[in-house]
Amino acid sequence: MMCINVDSLPINEKIKDILKKRGIQKLNPPQTEAVQKGLLDDKPLLIVSPTASGKTLMAELGMVSHLINKGGKAVYATPLRALTNEKYVTFKDWEQLGLKVAMTSGDYDTDDYWLKDYDIIVATYEKLDSLWRHNSPWIKEVDYFVLDEFHYMNDPERGPVVESVAVRAKRKGTILALSATIGNYKQIAEWLKADVVATNWRPVPLKEGVLYAGNKKKDFVVMYKDGTSRKVYGECPIVAFTLDVISKDGQVLVFRSSRKYAEATAVKISQFMNFVKLNDKKLHEVAESIKEVEDGGSNEKEALYNLILKGVAYHHAGLSKGLRDIIENAFRDRIIKVIVATPTLAAGVNLPARAVVIGDIHRFNRKVIGFTEYIPVMEYKQMSGRAGRPGFDEYGESVVVVRTKSEVDKVMQRYLNSDVEPLESKLGSESAFYSFILSIISSEEDVTERTLTEYIQDTLLPKELAKKYFKQALNWLLDNEFIAQEGEYLTLTKFGRRISDLYLNTFTAVTIKDVLTRNGKGCELAYFHMLAYTPDGPLVSITKAEEDVLLDELDCELFIEEPYDEYELSNYLSSLKVAFIMRDWIEEVDEDTILGRYGIGSGDLRAIVDTMDWLTYSGFHVASVLGLEEHKEVLEKLHMRVKDGVKEELIPLVKVPGIGRVRARLLYSHGIKTPEEIIMNPEKVKQLLGPKLGEKIVREAARAIT
């Protein structure tokens, strides 16, 4: 295919100037095909092309052309907050055209009215769904929707929201759906009423292979998809292949199925990095910056410090955002040579490498205790697609590690020579379907059963299943007082409106409602346990040793009785562990102590705190709308304590920006207990916190009380 020169594009000259400043003189083949199929003319498109093939630029051209030619607003939806921030930074270029760019994620109980003044809005799928529910006036102006990482529709947890957003978006404006991997793209394009751009073109060719032990000790063979092979030498296959790539000035991403494996593999690789040429000065700077991260645990920082000095790091959700950011940036800057990660990295930030090693093709199924399963082909494609850095590599390599030569053909057939799984509707569960119905009633006017039927017919759900769920959903929502029927119209009750605005799972709402109306005031642990036990609660793993300890340490009566079912008991104990973590947190137990006591990472703790912050807020509002004053009072205080992890007396101080649990306790212990006392004692505050920080805190305290 001929590639279009930027100069010949029928677009504004200022757009061309911005592209040229980025070094783009012509569009690549997928981008060219998208333009030929109407990208610049508001045509709905489904673009399926590999990682690094320029899908983001296609989205930018589509959005900007639409806004300049037709006005309105454009939303770019992503499945992950990290991607939201990444795209926001990229899109800021377009402010040179007078377009205003904003991003929003989290905080579901708001209509973000401030976004009325912005043209391009980057949001997570959940946030976009939440904004529709709030009926903010500006949301009606959005008539161009970019749906990124659209294959997330196959994710059991995120898929229902992605599908729900797609159903609305195709009714309200132009859709541009983007993905690296969709097997049944023709069916999906037809469903979206969009034309297709589907290509295997990559800016850097990919060599896919399988890595296995050879006939001699310390010999390992890479058998490639095209029939060629080569050998690498070393102590184990992952180390041997990794060192081979690094010795040729490459970088490697190694994917392992668990955090434990990722950390152990990083340590093992680091033991052989003495033979590799590294930039010791820059590695030392990166390692030192790890020590300064405020939101990381001491043990994590020490482990990463020692690894980074050797050019290696591990990466998983257990690490704090601050630690992950440093690791990702140092890898992008080619200072760190190897990252050993869990598969979540493949679905997140843009982090290409010369080579990718997939160390495991099995993983544990958390829902079936003791059961392992093959990873999906889509997951393999997401990981292998990270191989090959545009501008650095002539080709990328991805290898799957197997134990014996006899497994090579099986893996080749299952992953290297196979199409990805088809996208299918994930609305086929009661929880997902009921939430979908509630969201439509909350966001549309004059909703009747016919209105809902039309929306349901627009989903990917099999028609018979949709029909079966429809009546069941209406009856359940009516019985549980989420909705009311007035003649032919369906409306939200006061309770239903609050639940929709809070963006709570309907089953979470019913659990909270039932427990609070059935019980009198309880202990802090009981409230935390109830909230963690809901479908929206955070999950943590439980070891056999912890099971008895958790029950033995239980010192007050819980709202929810211990179940007999093994799976429910597992959830019950997970929720109890979360409750203990949260109680320690609000009692100001040292963060390192919490991490060590419960065997979690700093990233886990932050995720638990964020979720429980939202759930205590939601619980408070459920109690409020139900008129349960006793519970309302307890939950309100718990919510105020959860975010910063403080005892009740520190609540006034942590309301001042810049004051967290440690600084608040320091000020309080020296007799400064309120924002007013901060203002009255500026010199003492500077003495305790340091001159610069102290002065800033005094200014913030003054703002906080005005």
Q: Is the pLDDT of residue 348 over 80?
A: no
Query: Domain 6-198 is in which class?
Result: alpha beta
b/e map of 168-194 (b: 16 or more CB within 10 Å)? bbbeebbbbbbbbbbbebeebbebbeb
Strand residue runs (E) in 27-140: 45-48, 73-78, 101-104, 120-124
Q: Which two tokens stand for residue 502?
A: 């809070």
| Identical fold, 206-416 and 506-645 | no
Binding residues for ATP: 31
Which pLDDT tens digit goes with each residue over 366-401? 555 555 789 999 999 999 999 998 888 999 999 999
- What percentage of the chain carries pLDDT values higher than 70? 98
Q: Look at residue 351 in the predicted model and tell me its pLDDT.
A: 85
- What percentage of the chain carries pLDDT values higher than 90? 83
Binding residues: 31
Which pLDDT tens digit goes with each residue over 254-286? 999 999 999 999 999 999 998 888 999 999 999
Q: Which CATH code is given to the segment(s) 206-416?
A: 3.40.50.300
Q: How many contiguous H segments (helices) and E segments (strands) does the chain have?
A: 31, 19
Q: Look at residue 399 in the predicted model and tell me its pLDDT.
A: 97
Q: Which residues pair with 339 in a beta bridge?
A: 253, 313
Amino acid at 28: N
Q: Look at residue 326 in the predicted model and tell me its pLDDT.
A: 96
pLDDT confidence tier of residue 649, bands split at 50, 70 and 90 = very high
Q: Look at residue 286 in the predicted model and tell me its pLDDT.
A: 97
Q: Is the pLDDT of residue 79 over 80?
A: yes
The answer to whether 199 and 29 are in contact (CB under 8 A) is yes
pLDDT confidence tier of residue 215, bands split at 50, 70 and 90 = confident
Q: Look at residue 51 in the predicted model and tell me its pLDDT.
A: 86
**Which phi and psi angles does 34 have, rounded to 5°?**
-60, -40
Q: Look at residue 495 in the predicted model and tell me its pLDDT.
A: 97
Mean pLDDT for 660-665 is 94
Q: Which residue has the higher pLDDT, 581 or 444?
A: 581
pTM (predicted TM-score): 0.93
Q: Is the pLDDT of residue 568 over 80?
A: yes
pLDDT confidence tier of residue 640, bands split at 50, 70 and 90 = very high
Which pLDDT tens digit goes with each residue over 453-476? 999 999 999 988 888 889 999 999
Q: Which residue has the tokens 């760019």?
A: 101
- For the packed helices 661-669 and 682-689, what is the interaxial angle rounded to 10 degrees? 130
Q: Is the pLDDT of residue 40 over 80?
A: yes
The answer to whether 673 and 651 are in contact (CB under 8 A) is no
Residue 380 neighbours by CB distance under 10 Å: 26
Mean pLDDT estimate for the chain:
93
Q: Is the pLDDT of residue 352 over 90?
A: no
CA 247 to mean position of chain CA atoms: 34
Q: Look at residue 364 in the predicted model and tell me its pLDDT.
A: 73
Mean pLDDT for 562-568 is 84
Which residues touch 599 (CB under 8 Å, ≥6 apart)? 543
Q: Is the pLDDT of residue 347 over 90?
A: no
Residue 691 neighbours by CB distance under 10 Å: 11
Q: Which two tokens stand for residue 463?
A: 């028609």
Pick the CATH number of 430-502 from 2.130.10.10, 3.40.50.1000, 1.10.10.10, 3.40.50.300: 1.10.10.10
d(CA 702, CA 638): 26
Q: Is the pLDDT of residue 216 over 90?
A: no
Q: Which residues pair with 622 in a beta bridge?
A: none
Q: Look at residue 545 in the predicted model and tell me its pLDDT.
A: 85
Q: Is the pLDDT of residue 235 over 90?
A: no
Q: Which CATH code is given to the segment(s) 651-704?
A: 1.10.150.20
- Which residue ranges make up each domain of the chain? 6-198, 206-416, 430-502, 506-645, 651-704
Q: Is the pLDDT of residue 308 over 60?
A: yes
Give CA torsion, residues 588, 643, 326, 695, to 10 deg. -80
**Which phi and psi angles does 76 have, rounded to 5°?**
-110, 110
d(CA 432, CA 563): 24
The answer to whether 320 and 301 are in contact (CB under 8 A) is no
Which pLDDT tens digit goes with each residue over 133-160? 999 889 999 999 999 999 999 998 999 9
Q: Which CATH code is given to the segment(s) 506-645?
A: 1.10.3380.30
Q: Which residue has the tokens 């006036």?
A: 137
Q: Look at residue 609 in the predicted model and tell me its pLDDT.
A: 97
